[in-house]
Amino acid sequence: MFSSWKVLKKLVTKGLIVTGYLGYTGCVIHCAQEYIADVVICQGPSMEPTLYSNDIMITEHISILRRNINKGDIIICRSPSNPKEFICKRVKGVPGDKIRKGFSSTVVPRGHVWLEGDNKNNSTDSRSYGPVPIGLLRSRAVCRIYPFEKAKMFSNS
């Protein structure tokens, strides 16, 4: 009977240690995804021909957290019209920029950016909902990793 308790105690101790390591690893992975980098699957035609549906990208969060956002960056952000949805668009204007919309123009206000899809005929973007608050931005695309034959680093173009 005494040895059964020893075995049980040893099993419980090892189980708690493994659970602790798994919890720690989960926290590290969560923090890395939330504050450093993430893997994103692109959906929809709005960024064609740059990105197609099911292209997989690596995105980084540090530029957004430091508010280092430049024209030409490809951004992942919450949709201003549906906050449960994330969208992928290109930054076309930063605070203070004058954006032409037909015969009128808009100045991008402080704390906002102007986002547009590369596929102008098939994109709901700032031309529809106006400047986007910087607080909705999540990450900046660094590179496409899939499909493998189209893998590339993104620059501000």
Which residues are catalytic, by number? 46, 89
Q: Report d(CA 146, CA 62) in Å as an integer.
A: 22
Nearest C-alpha neighbor of 156 from the set 87, 76, 78, 91: 91
Q: Report d(CA 137, CA 94) in Å as an integer.
A: 13
Q: Report d(CA 90, CA 150) in Å as an integer.
A: 19
Q: Which two tokens stand for residue 133?
A: 């608050």
CA angle at 74 for the pair 28 and 43, rounded to the nearest 5°: 80
Residues 94 and 27 sit within 8 Å (Cβ to Cβ)? no
Residue 19's SS3 state is helix
Q: What radius of gyration do the chain's Cα atoms show? A: 22
